[in-house]
Amino acid sequence: QQPVQSPQAVILREGEDAVINCSSSKALYSVHWYRQKHGEAPVFLMILLKGGEQKGHEKISASFNEKKQQSSLYLTASQLSYSGTYFCGTERAYNTDKLIFGTGTRLQVFP
């Protein structure tokens, strides 16, 4: 079942912060985050594993609440280069058959 992302779209000014959420109705083993810039392929950002710690990547970090089957992606002091569509992907067990992606959150950062 496809995870639900919220919000669907975010508009920011440079330097502002944003949070993107990803929720699943099923127990999860891992959550992946990808970013897709306009006209390009999705690119990996980070993986959060069950029982693992909060991850960070530049000014982008994420958390994973296993009890709630939720993950949040935090973008702080946003830059123009952060614009794109963010996808979460969820995995229910280690090396299962599939990574299921959410519907995406479109982020636009303006000067």
User: Which residue ranges make up the site for other proteins (CB under 8 A)?
Assistant: 2, 5, 29-30, 32, 34, 40-44, 47, 87, 89, 91, 94-104
Instruction: Report the residue number, 19 or 106, with the smaller CB distance to other proteins.
Output: 106
Least Å distance, CB 77 to other proteins, is 26
Q: What is the DSSP secondary-structure string of 51-84?
A: T-PPEEETTEEEEEETTTTEEEEEE-S--GGG-E
Instruction: Report the residue number, 44 or 110, with the smaller CB distance to other proteins.
Output: 44
